[in-house]
Amino acid sequence: MLVAVTRDVSPAIGRCELTHIRRQTITLNTARVQHRLYERSLAELGCRLHQLPAEEELPDSVFVEDAAIVLDELAVITRPGAESRRPETRPIADLLAPYRKLFRIQQPGTMDGGDVLQTGKTVFAGLSTRTNLEAIDQLRAVLSPFGYTVHAVQVKGCLHLKSAVTAVAEDTLLMNPEWVDEEAFKGKEIIRVDPAEPRGANALLVGRTVLYPAAYSRTRRRLEDQGLTVRTVDLSELAKAEGGVTCCSLIFDYRQ
């Protein structure tokens, strides 16, 4: 069974962190309606939802992906790169504790979950403005005994590794090669975003379905042309907070 952890949009979302885009007004109600439809899509794709209530004082807390990395054998609670986001991790750790043994990124390490991309036993970790080498070394030390190989990958021009590259099938990645070096992913099938849609590389694979932003129709066609099943979702209001489809959930397998 797949479990999807989500958290309702904070009323403070207007004070979110922004790195690569300029501030625009975010309409809370629209963001919440879109977020609920996103949650419904996850449920319809077979996930059991675990919905956390909104955090009044934590603007970016809807982006639960950044608080943890959940693998089959364990979970790593991050230490987010933006100081304003550090208190987000505690409720996520409490929620994950019954499901997984927990490890933690320690100071001076900083890491956002959005910088960690897993494909099988290979883990790519983005070196970004949020994630540093200390944290990647800590992640490697935690994961190596479980048979994972951790590769550090430089990210440039975007917020997180998963802004630049995500998995859309078992061995297929969707990528914006302007933001990450294709060479780092040798051996993988690569689908490139349409050049007119640089933000189109963030896709969420749920089972065999790619949950994908409605805004990027050209890249969506590229995915469908490769035989992939795509379901669209409109997260345009949260995109104003620099969030995408992977950021709004933590999805993991749970066997009772």
Should residue 88 be labelled a site residue for ligand CIR when binding is judged by CB under 6 A?
no
Report the sign of the C-alpha dihedral through residues 184, 186, 190, 195, in that order: positive
Distance CA 174, CA 228 (A): 12
Establish whether 160 is a catalytic residue.
Answer: yes
Stretch of residues binding ligand CIR (CB under 6 A), selected from 32-40, 45-53, 227-235, 240-248: 240-248
Distance CA 70, CA 27 (A): 31
Please state the closest distance from residue 65 (CB atom) to ligand CIR, in A: 4
Q: Please identify which residue in 3, 10, 38, 66 interacts with ligand CIR, judged by CB under 6 A.
A: 66
Strands (E), the chain: 2-7, 47-52, 68-70, 74-77, 101-104, 116-119, 122-127, 149-154, 165-169, 172-175, 189-192, 204-206, 209-213, 229-233, 250-253
In the complex, the smallest distance separating the C-beta of residue 191 from ligand CIR, rounded to whole angstroms, is 20
Q: Residues in the chain, how many?
A: 256
Shortest CB 147 distance to ligand CIR, Å:
25
Closer by beta carbon to ligand CIR, 2 or else 82: 82
13 sits near ligand CIR (criterion: CB under 6 A) = no
Active site residue 47: no
- Write the DSSP assignment of 181-222 as a string of letters: -GGGGTTSEEEEPPTT-GGGG--EEETTEEEEETT-HHHHHH
Q: Longest C-alpha distance within the chain, in Å?
A: 46
Work out whether 243 is an interface residue with ligand CIR (CB under 6 A). yes
Measured distance CA(161)–CA(151) in Å, rounded: 12
Does the protein bind ligand CIR through residue 241 (CB under 6 A)? yes
Q: Is 87 a residue that touches ligand CIR (CB under 6 A)?
A: no
Chain position whose Cβ is nearest to ligand CIR? 114
Cβ closest to ligand CIR, residue 109 vs residue 114: 114
Find out whether 173 and 190 touch, Cβ atoms under 8 Å: yes
Least distance CB 256 / ligand CIR (angstroms):
29
Point out which span in 61-69, 120-128, 174-182, 206-214 binds ligand CIR (CB under 6 A): 61-69
> Interface with ligand CIR by CB under 6 A: which residues?
16-17, 19, 60, 63, 65-66, 82, 85, 114, 159-160, 241-244, 246-247
